[in-house]
Amino acid sequence: MFTTSPEISGEIVALGHALASLPIGGLLTYAKMGHPSHYVARRAIRKAEIDSGSLFATVRGEGIRRLDTTGSINHGAATLRRIRKAAQRGITRLSCIRANATPLEQRRLLALQAQLGAIALVSNPLMTAKVEVHQTNTGPLPVGRVLEMFR
């Protein structure tokens, strides 16, 4: 198993503290960070997110930004878009091999396509709006109740 060296661990902790101390909407530039490796930056972001309870996002060519509430919500929406596109691509790619599959492989293939179709369906922005209507500020909805909304 891979373990972090003490030098890198210290770098992660220092960068994590610097990120956690950023004001909301603040940006820590790569120049100020000393251009850390991708591994160090990802680990520091994860540490800062746990320590501060905030989300951070990389800004291409600039640095790492502490997201405000709107940015955090947009991050969630972007994640759903990415998942939906990946599911749709998966369905398309799996449909190319149907002709070469044995009956057992074809059953598995159809099951995978059905699962990917369900993921694409529930990650649709229209479904997000449907769930928002039933959402209260008391906490997340139970999964079973959310799935009933998609019928």
- What pTM was estimated for this model as a whole? 0.70
Residue 56 confidence (pLDDT) above 80? yes
**What's the rounded Cα separation, in Å, for the pair 148 and 134?**
11
CA 141 to centroid of chain Cα atoms: 19
**What's the rounded Cα separation, in Å, for the pair 40 and 15?**
8
Digit-coded pLDDT (tens) for 87-133: 999 999 988 876 677 888 888 988 999 999 989 988 888 888 888 87
The amino acid occupying position 30 is: Y
Is the four-CA dihedral 66, 70, 72, 75 of positive or negative sign?
Answer: negative
